[in-house]
Amino acid sequence: MDLSLGFSPCPNDTFIFDAMVNNKIDTDGLRFNTDLQDVETLNKWALQGKLAVTKLSFAVYRKVKDQYNLLNSGSALGRGCGPLLIAKKPIAPEDVKDCRIAIPGDNTTANLLFSIAFPEAKQKQVMVFSEIESAVLDGRADVGVIIHENRFTYQQKGLVKIIDLGEYWESTTGSPIPLGGIFIRKDVPLEIQQQVDALIHKSLQYSYQHYPKLSEYVTQHAQEMDENVMRQHIDLYVNDFSLDLGQEGHAAVDLLMKKAGGF
């Protein structure tokens, strides 16, 4: 059986899916047609039900719950791994509401976490996540919400942190930060849904068995990163919750969806 599968080219996702999509493990007759895209593109596609299996921001889950089920494996959820709000110079948090804010997509969890922390801030500009640092540096935005590998590079570019949005979430809720998960369309037979979930778990276990060595699949999709940054990325966003969300992980997702109701 062939299934369409979408995830990002970021090291955490390629690390998780490498063995599954490159025949390093037995996929029990399933074949995956992969589409690597920025997560906001995947979010938009999910609103159309385009892919059978897809990485999504948890913020968009409430909009696609009638079409997709959340799988237990493959998620990015944890502590100390949230998006950051950065600028060229220090800005008082109470002044953020008057700033022009670059965000990595309307449907991203990063935007939702920012909105929870700064509900009065409305001057948002949507950009591809990799363009946000440059937009702040050249003055197109006053502040930017950064995700992925940018949290490891912003200081090298002379930018400063205004607030860690993940720390804000953790301090106000006590919950780990639910960033993104793997979802499967409800029209896929239940036994296949369970099979895919188990394969993702097995694929990640395979990658862990060979870590810290990085496969060619991971490095070829992260061409502008050095290997140290790739490993930092994996270490931050891939953890026990990625193997299995468990009760705590699902509770964190439910809490985020409840908070999202106000936005």
Distance between CA atoms of 105 and 68, rounded to whole angstroms? Answer: 20
Domain finish residue from 121, 150, 173: 173
Residues 105 and 26 reside in one and the same domain: no
Q: What is residue 150's predicted lDDT score, i.e. its pLDDT? A: 84
* Residues linked to residue 47 through DSSP beta bridges, in sequence order: none
Give me the half-sphere count of Cα atoms (radius 13 Å) on the Cβ side of residue 208: 12
Residues 104 and 74 reside in one and the same domain: no
Span 108-119, average pLDDT: 95
Residues 132 and 169 reside in one and the same domain: yes
24 is in an annotated binding site: no
Residues 91 and 214 reside in one and the same domain: no
Q: What is residue 120's predicted lDDT score, i.e. its pLDDT? A: 94
55 is in an annotated binding site: yes
Distance between CA atoms of 150 and 92, rounded to whole angstroms? Answer: 22
Distance between CA atoms of 75 and 70, rounded to whole angstroms? Answer: 9
Residues 100 and 129 reside in one and the same domain: yes
Residues 58 and 21 reside in one and the same domain: yes
Residues 55 and 10 reside in one and the same domain: yes
Note the maximum CA span of the chain: 56
75 is in an annotated binding site: no
Q: Which domain holds residue 51?
A: 2-78+177-260
Which is the catalytic residue, given 148, 201, 210, 221?
Answer: 148
Q: What is residue 4's predicted lDDT score, i.e. its pLDDT? A: 98
110 is in an annotated binding site: yes
56 is in an annotated binding site: yes
Average pLDDT, rounded, for the chain: 95
Q: CB of 78 within 8 A of CB of 176?
A: yes
pLDDT score of 152 more than 90: no
148 is catalytic: yes
Rg of the chain in Å (alpha carbons): 18
Which has the closest alpha carbon to 246: 193, 195, 181?
A: 181
CATH of the domain at 142: 3.40.190.10
Report CA 189 to chain centroid distance, whole Å.
Answer: 26
pLDDT score of 235 more than 80: yes
Q: If pLDDT is split at 50, 70 and 90, which confidence band does 262 have?
A: low
Residues 167 and 91 reside in one and the same domain: yes
Per-residue pLDDT tens digits for 7-37: 999 999 999 999 999 999 999 999 999 999 9
Domain finish residue from 117, 145, 173: 173
Residues 184 and 72 reside in one and the same domain: yes
Distance between CA atoms of 51 and 40, rounded to whole angstroms? Answer: 14
Q: If pLDDT is split at 50, 70 and 90, which confidence band does 190 have?
A: very high
Residues 49 and 112 reside in one and the same domain: no
Residues 204 and 160 reside in one and the same domain: no
pLDDT score of 96 more than 70: yes
What is residue 144's three-state secondary structure? Answer: strand
Residues 108 and 181 reside in one and the same domain: no
Domain finish residue from 173, 202, 235: 173
Per-residue pLDDT tens digits for 42-69: 999 999 999 999 999 999 999 999 999 9
Q: CB of 114 within 8 A of CB of 173?
A: no
Span 198-217, average pLDDT: 97
Q: Total structural domains in the chain?
A: 2
